[in-house]
Amino acid sequence: QPMDHEAYMRFCLDLARKSPPKPTNYRVGAVLVDLASNDILATGYTLELPGNIHAEQCCFMKLAEQHGVPEERLKDVLPPRMALYTTVEPCSKRLSGNLPCVERVLRLAGSIQTVYVGVMEPATFVSSNTGKASLDAAGISVVHVAGLEPEILQVATAGHVLP
């Protein structure tokens, strides 16, 4: 019995809780799901892998490693219909200058059908995340899974110094 959207988002939130708090990013959890089998292809949480790695980026890095391909070639080796769940929408700009996750998702346009997000990105680091427009333009739906916002934001900002 496949999990429902809220169950996947709760799973992402549990992953986000594993992320070490930092004042300069959010604690996010993400999973990539094969829509044909409902199998979870990869999980990730912020800083899970060495370096300044985002949750979504973790998923893609793990799959690139598993398949022995560079991240740019993932579309060639991954299933044709997938969904990405992430507690915070994929970043469209990173203050570190690293490649934003929206760009990483766009590499899989045509395979990733939908990005399910728990919250849109707050304005703490990036005044307005333009990801939804970019993803929509590439035919990737961005769908808000409502109901977990307070918990997601509390976990995401746990490392932030109080104003």
Ligand X SMILES: Nc1nc(=O)c(N)c(NC[C@H](O)[C@H](O)[C@H](O)COP(=O)(O)O)[nH]1
* Residue 52's binding partner out of Zn ion, ligand X, none, with CB under 5 to 8 Å set by partner kind: ligand X
- Give the one entry of Zn ion, ligand X, none that residue 26 binds, where binding means its C-beta sits below a cut-off of 5 to 8 angstroms depending on kind: ligand X
Q: Where does this chain bind ligand X (CB under 6 A)?
A: 24-26, 28, 46, 52, 54-56, 86, 88-91, 94-96, 98, 101, 125-126
Residue 23 beta carbon to ligand X: minimum distance, rounded to whole angstroms: 10
Cβ proximity to Zn ion, 3 vs 138, nearer residue: 138
Q: Which does 60 bind (CB under 5 to 8 A by kind): ligand X, Zn ion, none?
A: none
User: Nearer Cβ to ligand X, position 23 or 80?
Assistant: 23
Tell me how far, at minimum, the Cβ of 97 lies from ligand X, in Å. Answer: 7
* Three-state DSSP string of the chain: CCCCHHHHHHHHHHHHCCCCCCCCCCCCEEEEEECCCCCEEEEEECCCCCCCCCHHHHHHHHHHHHHCCCHHHHHHHCCCCEEEEEEECCCCCCCCCCCCHHHHHHCCECCEEEEEEEECCCCCCCCCCCHHHHHHHCCCEEEECCCCHHHHHHHHCCCCCCC
User: Of 2 and 23, which CB lies nearer to ligand X in the complex structure?
Assistant: 23
